């Protein structure tokens, strides 16, 4: 759903628009605010083109991401090929440019040949403890990407042998030879031209790095034009083993990093809004640390970052960490309980304005590091912790869906320099800036889009916006995302409780009042 398409006539919009119109500083009619910020945008300094791949997504064979998500043969909402058309349409609105698949941890037991051709081989997955039917394989994934207008990004099973991994590249990209012929026999004579490949998921150690080197060489021997990634850092530590750069660096194009700042893997955590906001500056620090590793290794500028799994919250999956027997007895009540526990991640009340504003903060961090970040993939795109909840009767756009849509649809193509001076939002022993911001401009300098985030749960912020040394003056179009509460969420019963609205914003002497727990994207003209 294009955020620009929302009408200006709803009572909620009128109220928000009124809240955004402010008087001059010191106006007697306006009580002095408790929170202030100053955002100064450079209009003459250098700008950096960012890669739209930062708006990418990730899907894994876990929960209802694939089956019951994108792919649901027999559903009245699916086409004859089994693809949910409502889901495709909703994700297309996010302009997702790249999708990573099939894992994630799932890939550790995935063998691509079992999921191609007319006869598919089902198996018990080692990591997630589910029966994988393999009805959604390479061909279906490529078809999904084509429907989304996205580049496919395939993550390899690094526990398989090198030949198997190189053969998958050949099956997808060769124009002739036995694997191209096999692909043709399966109905696709033309190559899939998969450009992005990763050797494994969340692996470390000398043995893994040596295999990365060997595999990258073998895969690029098949197709020299592909881009190869491997695991660099996952979890709260942004440390990257220098041996990776030394041994495999010459053959790599991308460094894969992962982090979920609320780790729900075993314990299901439900931090409140303020606790989540205290995490919102961590993506910036994480990226800065990885960039330093690239710089120290001498690979910065040649190897770029693929933050190909990220989200505020990880999904919940107690048990099934790859250490259980391959055969899983789904009739065992203990097994059934562990599998059912995963659905706690589907609780709609989890995904509040905290998720939306964290997503905005994460994307701001990627934009500030545009020189080094080539890709980012929210984990996951649908269901579990994803921005789109899919159920048998339709879809629900969660709060962070709208934040992602605003960034993908409303920003301009280049990032400008911004200086932020902001009061701090304090919670316990932690604090973050109340306001976060990023400024983007088109290639001609004629159009600007400035994203402003007010993290405060209950108070507005008087934000002074300065462009090129001069306070902004006038009335401008804008898109705002806010809720009636910081804990507001969307669900089946009320799918549009939180949704973006088009408003008009008046700035006097540069002052714009940002409503509590809000994301505002302001459209501004360039110098005339």
* pLDDT over 90 (residue 10): no
* CB of 414 closer than 8 Å to CB of 442: yes
Q: Name the CA dihedral angle for 15, 91, 446, 367, rounded to a multiple of 10 degrees.
A: 100
Least confident range from 55-59, 66-70, 333-337, 347-351: namely 333-337
Instruction: Give the pLDDT confidence score for residue 201 in this predicted structure.
Output: 95
Mean of the pLDDT values across residues 213-233?
97
Q: Please tell me which residue, 341 or 513, carries the higher pLDDT value.
A: 513
Q: Name the range with the highest mean pLDDT among 6-20, 113-127, 389-403.
A: 389-403
- The 3-state DSSP class for residue 84 equals strand
* pLDDT over 50 (residue 424): yes
Instruction: Give the pLDDT confidence score for residue 401 in this predicted structure.
Output: 98
Q: Maximum distance among all alpha carbons in the chain?
A: 80
Mean of the pLDDT values across residues 299-310?
98
Mean of the pLDDT values across residues 121-139?
88
Topology, domain 3-49+413-525: Immunoglobulin-like (2.60.40)
Mean of the pLDDT values across residues 291-319?
95
Name the helix (H) or strand (E) containing 427.
Answer: strand 424-427
CA 161 vs. chain centroid, Å, equals: 30
* CB of 306 closer than 8 Å to CB of 257: yes
Alpha helices in 384-511 (DSSP H): 399-410
* pLDDT over 90 (residue 495): yes
Instruction: Give the pLDDT confidence score for residue 134 in this predicted structure.
Output: 95
d(CA 231, CA 524): 40
Convert the pLDDT of each residue in 324-361 to its tens digit: 545 667 778 887 888 888 889 999 999 999 999 999 99
Q: Please tell me which residue, 17 or 271, carries the higher pLDDT value.
A: 271
* pLDDT over 50 (residue 27): no
Q: Please tell me which residue, 351 or 6, carries the higher pLDDT value.
A: 351
* Cis check: omega of the bond before 380, within 30 degrees of 0: yes
- The 3-state DSSP class for residue 1 equals coil
The answer to whether domain 52-410 has CATH 3.20.20.80 is: yes
* CB of 326 closer than 8 Å to CB of 400: no
Convert the pLDDT of each residue in 89-104 to its tens digit: 999 999 999 999 999 9
Instruction: Give the pLDDT confidence score for residue 318 in this predicted structure.
Output: 85
* CB of 114 closer than 8 Å to CB of 123: yes
Convert the pLDDT of each residue in 161-186 to its tens digit: 999 999 999 999 999 999 999 999 99
Q: Where in the chain is the domain with CATH 3.20.20.80?
A: 52-410
Convert the pLDDT of each residue in 105-124 to its tens digit: 999 989 999 999 999 999 88
d(CA 515, CA 520): 9
Least confident range from 32-41, 110-119, 169-178, 258-267: namely 32-41
Q: Where in the chain is the domain with CATH 2.60.40.1180?
A: 3-49+413-525
d(CA 114, CA 191): 19
Instruction: Give the pLDDT confidence score for residue 444 in this predicted structure.
Output: 92
Mean of the pLDDT values across residues 46-68?
96
Global pTM reads 0.92
Q: Report the chain's mean pLDDT, rounded to a whole number.
A: 91
Mean of the pLDDT values across residues 270-288?
97
């Amino acid at each position: 759903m294009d955020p620009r398409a929302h009408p200006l006539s709803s009572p909620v919009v009128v109220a928000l628009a009124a809240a955004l119109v402010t008087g001059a500083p010191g106006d007697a009619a306006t009580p002095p605010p408790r929170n202030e910020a100053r955002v100064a945008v450079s209009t003459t300094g250098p700008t950096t083109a960012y890669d739209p791949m930062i708006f990418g997504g990730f899907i894994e064979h876990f929960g209802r991401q694939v089956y019951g998500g994108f792919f649901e043969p027999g559903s009245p909402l699916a086409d004859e090929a089994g693809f949910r058309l409502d889901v495709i349409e909703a994700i297309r609105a996010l302009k997702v440019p790249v999708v990573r698949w099939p894992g994630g941890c799932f890939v550790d037991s995935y063998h691509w040949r079992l999921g191609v051709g007319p006869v598919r081989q089902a198996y018990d997955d080692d990591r997630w403890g589910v029966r994988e039917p393999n009805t959604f394989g390479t061909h279906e994934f490529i078809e999904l990407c084509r429907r989304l207008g996205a580049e496919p990004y395939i993550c390899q099973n690094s526990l398989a042998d090198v030949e198997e991994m190189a053969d998958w590249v050949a099956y997808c990209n060769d124009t002739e030879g036995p694997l191209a012929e096999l692909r043709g026999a399966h109905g696709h004579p033309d190559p899939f031209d998969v450009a992005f490949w990763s050797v494994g998921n969340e692996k470390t150690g000398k043995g893994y790095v040596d295999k990365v080197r060997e595999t990258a060489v073998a895969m690029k021997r098949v197709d020299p034009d592909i881009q190869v990634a491997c695991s660099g850092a996952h979890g709260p530590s942004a440390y990257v083993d220098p041996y990776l750069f030394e041994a495999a660096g010459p053959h790599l194009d991308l460094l894969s990093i992962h982090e979920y700042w609320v780790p729900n893997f075993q314990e299901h955590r439900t931090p409140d809004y303020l606790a989540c906001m205290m995490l919102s500056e961590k993506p910036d620090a994480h990226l800065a640390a990885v960039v330093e590793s690239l710089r120290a290794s001498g690979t910065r500028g040649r190897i770029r970052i693929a933050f190909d799994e990220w989200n505020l919250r990880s999904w919940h999956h107690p048990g099934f960490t790859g250490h259980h027997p391959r055969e899983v007895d789904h009739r065992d009540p203990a097994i059934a309980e562990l599998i059912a526990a995963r659905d706690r991640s589907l609780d709609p009340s989890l995904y509040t304005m905290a998720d939306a504003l964290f997503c905005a903060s994460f994307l701001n961090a990627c934009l500030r590091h545009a020189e080094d970040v080539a890709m980012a993939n929210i984990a996951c795109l649908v269901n579990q912790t994803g921005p789109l909840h899919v159920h048998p009767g339709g879809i629900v756009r969660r709060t962070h869906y709208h934040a992602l849509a605003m960034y993908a649809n409303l920003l301009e193509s280049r990032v400008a320099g911004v200086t932020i001076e902001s009061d701090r939002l304090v919670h316990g022993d932690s604090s973050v800036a109340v306001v976060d911001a990023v400024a983007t401009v088109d290639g001609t300098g004629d159009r600007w889009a400035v994203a402003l985030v007010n993290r405060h749960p209950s108070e507005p912020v008087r934000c002074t916006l300065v462009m090129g040394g001069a306070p902004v003056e006038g009335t401008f179009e804008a898109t705002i995302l806010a809720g009636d509460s910081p804990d507001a969420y969307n669900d089946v019963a009320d799918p549009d409780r939180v949704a973006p609205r088009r408003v008009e914003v008046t700035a006097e002497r540069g002052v714009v009042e940002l409503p509590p727990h809000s994301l505002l994207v302001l459209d501004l003209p360039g110098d005339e």
